[in-house]
Amino acid sequence: MDPLTLPATLESLEPLVQYVLSAAAAAGLDRKASYRLRLAVDEIATNIITHGYADAHIDGDVVVNASVDVEQLVITLEDWAPAFDPRVQEDPDHIGKPSDERPIGGLGVFLALKSVDRIDYEYRDHKNRNILTMNRPRAEA
């Protein structure tokens, strides 16, 4: 699939998610795996838009790219917001508490990290790259 470039606004989340779901379908992911990937991409993209760009008072784009090989579907999100590696977030200490005792928010990145088979991050040339990998179902022998 060709990369998709969108303005870093909350209105861009829907076309971004549709792109990811199309890639998941093309890769043969089942509904559960597609949902987990959608959740992860939505959370990472929302953080890019709201915390990366908006909190820094800058405008910019998010580029999403999908690549598929025999074993994996890889979704890459690129942005030019300040550097942020989602993998260095500590697990929330309130995860085991009842929902009425938890603060609002703070679970998005945690859920994103747990939803995909692998997530990598790099920051080069003033660009964040979040690389989310889902294993494809194996063909029966």
> Given pLDDT bands bounded at 50, 70 and 90, which one contains residue 139?
low
Note the pLDDT of residue 46.
94
> Given pLDDT bands bounded at 50, 70 and 90, which one contains residue 114?
confident
Q: Please check the confidence at residue 26 and state whether its pLDDT lies above 90.
A: yes
Q: Which residues, at least 6 apart from 79, have a Cβ–Cβ distance to it below 8 Å? A: 8, 48, 52, 53, 60, 61, 62, 63, 127, 128
Please report which residue ranges of the chain form alpha helices under DSSP H.
13-26, 31-47, 108-115
Domain range list for the chain:
4-135
Q: Which residues, at least 6 apart from 96, have a Cβ–Cβ distance to it below 8 Å? A: none
Q: Please check the confidence at residue 103 and state whether its pLDDT lies above 90.
A: no
pLDDT per position as a tens digit, 45-66: 999 999 999 999 999 999 999 9
Note the pLDDT of residue 140.
47
Instruction: Judge: domain 4-135, CATH 3.40.50.720.
Output: no
Note the pLDDT of residue 107.
56
